[in-house]
Amino acid sequence: MSDIDIEADRKILSELHTKLLVDENTDVDEELKYFVEDTILIPPNAPPVTGLNTIREAVKEMVKTDWDLGVPGRGVLKLEIAASGDLAYDIGRYKMVNKRPEGPVEERGYFVTLYKKIDGKWRFMGQMWNSIKPE
């Protein structure tokens, strides 16, 4: 493995996290360019979603929802990069509001996201998240 620049990788991973999981991008195929072939999503109260074709359909449904992602109280709490420089994860919390016709519904919880560097580029491997009922 070549020289590892942890700070540069932290910046790239932070930007990738924002691009894929925070920005309200609806171009699903553009986002999937950053996913590994065997990506896995593990949503709360549902079975895992695996494989790019299945994930593509799931994400297309997700982007149809009118979410307000700009609410405070969310973000990455910890980002770790392996000493090998080719694996990383982040842990954080999310908080968003689903703007439903019958009124807004807040969802909040925690997530773990996995990344792998392949051919010198960071890729999204998967994410697991939970949902905590509002108090």
Q: What are phi and psi of 121, to 5 degrees?
A: -125, 135
The tens digit of pLDDT for each residue in 68-119 reads: 655 566 789 999 999 999 999 999 998 877 777 888 878 889 999 999 999 9
CA distance 79 to 53: 28
Listed by start position, the domains of the chain span 6-129
Q: Is the pTM of this model over 0.75?
A: yes
> Domain 6-129 carries which CATH code?
3.10.450.50
Residue environment code for 60-70, b if the CB has 16+ CB neighbours within 10 A, otherwise e: eeeeeeeeeee
